[in-house]
């Protein structure tokens, strides 16, 4: 058994981590911290956890001390000092925030308004999208866990990009997110009265995840991938639906597209490539670590339309973080993550 700790345990991603780790057969939730609820049981904040996860929220320092692996479920800008502390003490850190996701410091300054406090730690960090960077993740001590859009979009497009089947410029990612993606702190557009019976785009062509998606696909292809990204807020709690449009290269056939995806994801347990004619739906991945992908071709306009669906708190956050933990510690990647999604 390894000992796991959560810093920021009372946010949505932190609470989902606690739910998953409590059920993990090879990990023990040893400590959890919360600035807002120090001294309170996690089950006092989330009553659904009563008698199942009654751990008392303590300090960040105690989490590091008691843990072999620390999950940082924090807003951007707060994980670098924690990473330095963990690294100096030989503890693994899996950061669910954005502090280690971007490789270029200038990009981090532009999109997050921060700097790299410890450049050497950023060189040590690896991007934790297992289906694309599995071998780089093994044996690392700092993992930058991707977020929801930055998981759904690259997984939808990676086989097409890797096999040079689509034009790298002019890709459109039209995405929809459940409201938990906005975090637990309330904002005007997440009030029930504002959100219910509404559907709107936000941060159009100005979202921080845009350069991260491009970075991932650029690393895979070696080409200058450009994406127009438009996120929308759904009046549901959980889920990401990414509808990605890309122009096919001349002469590419439907058979080539299908074959590339089948080959790329044939051994990936958490990627479910749907049969032709089916369409990915967030309902079918709810409360899971699965990513469903459906492929559609508009031959009239020579466009690939790849649709992916994930649970933004699962494969888009906590589930993927546990998958990364499994990789770091040599467990079967699926451990603790194989519960069936609810059917309704």
CA atoms of 188 and 50, how far apart (whole Å): 30
With CA atoms as reference, report the closest residue to 21 among 45, 37, 4.
4
Contact call for residues 43 and 50 (beta carbons, < 8 A): yes
Contact call for residues 87 and 141 (beta carbons, < 8 A): yes
Contact call for residues 148 and 317 (beta carbons, < 8 A): yes
Structure-token pair, residue 226: 């450009």
CA atoms of 280 and 307, how far apart (whole Å): 6
Please, which residues have CB within 8 angstroms of residue 171's CB and are 6 or more apart in sequence?
157, 225, 226, 227, 228, 244, 245, 246
With CA atoms as reference, report the closest residue to 24 among 251, 342, 321.
321
Structure-token pair, residue 30: 């040893």
With CA atoms as reference, report the closest residue to 308 among 324, 322, 290, 321.
290
- E strand or H helix at 122: helix 119-124
CA atoms of 23 and 5, how far apart (whole Å): 14
- DSSP class of residue 35 equals S
| Helix ranges (DSSP H) in 39-162 | 42-45, 60-66, 80-88, 105-112, 119-124, 130-137, 149-162
- Give the active site residues: 148
CA atoms of 270 and 282, how far apart (whole Å): 14
- Per-residue three-class SS string for 136-161: HHCCCCEEECCCCHHHHHHHHHHHHH
Please, which residues have CB within 8 angstroms of residue 19's CB and are 6 or more apart in sequence?
49, 53, 318
């Amino acid at each position: 058994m390894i000992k796991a700790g959560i810093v920021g345990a009372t946010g949505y991603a932190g609470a989902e981590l606690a739910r998953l780790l409590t059920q993990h057969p090879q990990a023990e939730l040893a400590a959890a911290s919360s600035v807002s609820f120090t001294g309170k049981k996690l089950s006092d904040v989330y009553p659904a956890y009563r008698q199942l996860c009654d751990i008392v929220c303590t300090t960040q320092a105690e989490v590091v001390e008691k843990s072999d692996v620390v999950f940082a479920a924090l807003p951007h800008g707060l994980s670098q000092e924690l990473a330095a502390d963990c690294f100096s003490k030989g503890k693994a850190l899996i950061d669910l925030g954005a502090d280690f996701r971007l490789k270029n410091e200038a990009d981090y300054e532009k999109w997050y308004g921060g700097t790299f406090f410890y450049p050497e730690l950023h060189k040590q960090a690896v991007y934790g999208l297992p289906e694309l960077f599995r071998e780089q993740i093994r044996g690392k001590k700092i993992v930058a866990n991707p977020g929801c859009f930055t998981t759904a979009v690259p997984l939808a497009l990676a086989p097409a990009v890797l096999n040079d089947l689509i034009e790298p410029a002019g890709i459109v990612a039209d995405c929809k997110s459940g409201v938990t993606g906005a975090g637990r702190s309330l904002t005007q557009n997440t009030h029930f009265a504002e959100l219910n019976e509404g559907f709107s785009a936000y941060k159009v062509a100005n979202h921080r995840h845009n350069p991260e998606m491009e970075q991932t696909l650029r690393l895979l292809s070696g080409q200058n991938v450009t994406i127009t990204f438009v996120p929308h807020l759904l009046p549901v709690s959980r889920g990401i639906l990414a509808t990605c449009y890309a122009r096919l290269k001349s002469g590419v056939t439907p058979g080539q597209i299908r074959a590339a995806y089948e080959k790329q994801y044939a051994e990936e347990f958490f990627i479910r490539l749907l049969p032709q004619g089916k369409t990915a739906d967030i309902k079918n991945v709810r409360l899971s670590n699965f990513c469903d992908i459906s492929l559609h071709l508009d031959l009239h306009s020579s466009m690939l339309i790849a649709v992916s669906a994930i649970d933004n708190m699962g494969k888009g956050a906590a589930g993927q973080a546990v998958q990364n933990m499994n990789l770091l510690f040599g467990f079967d990647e699926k451990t603790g993550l194989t519960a069936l999604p609810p059917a309704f």
